[in-house]
Amino acid sequence: MGLAFTPNSAVLASCGTDELVRMWKSADGTALGTLARLPDIPMDLAFSPDGTRLAVASKDDTITLWAVK
């Protein structure tokens, strides 16, 4: 479980016990969509400092890495 803003502050990513990673518009909280379901409960997530990657660590030790559009 956790949350992280993109380096440019425009988007917030969150992950929860529903095993989904969600994206939100920082300006007004609009839901921007959901990334593919994770293999297990996400424990931590982080954007790369350059904002091009999002990584999520799941409870089963799987690491999932996305290229950020």
Q: Report d(CA 56, CA 20) in Å as an integer.
A: 10
Taking the complex as a whole, the smallest distance from the CB of residue 65 to its own copies amounts, in Å, to: 5
Q: Does 68 bind its own copies (CB under 8 A)?
A: no
- Contact with its own copies (CB under 8 A): which of 33, 37, 63, 69? 63
Q: Is the dihedral of CA 23, 46, 26, 68 positive or negative?
A: negative
Q: Report d(CA 13, CA 47) in Å as an integer.
A: 9
Taking the complex as a whole, the smallest distance from the CB of residue 20 to its own copies amounts, in Å, to: 9
Q: Does 41 bind its own copies (CB under 8 A)?
A: no
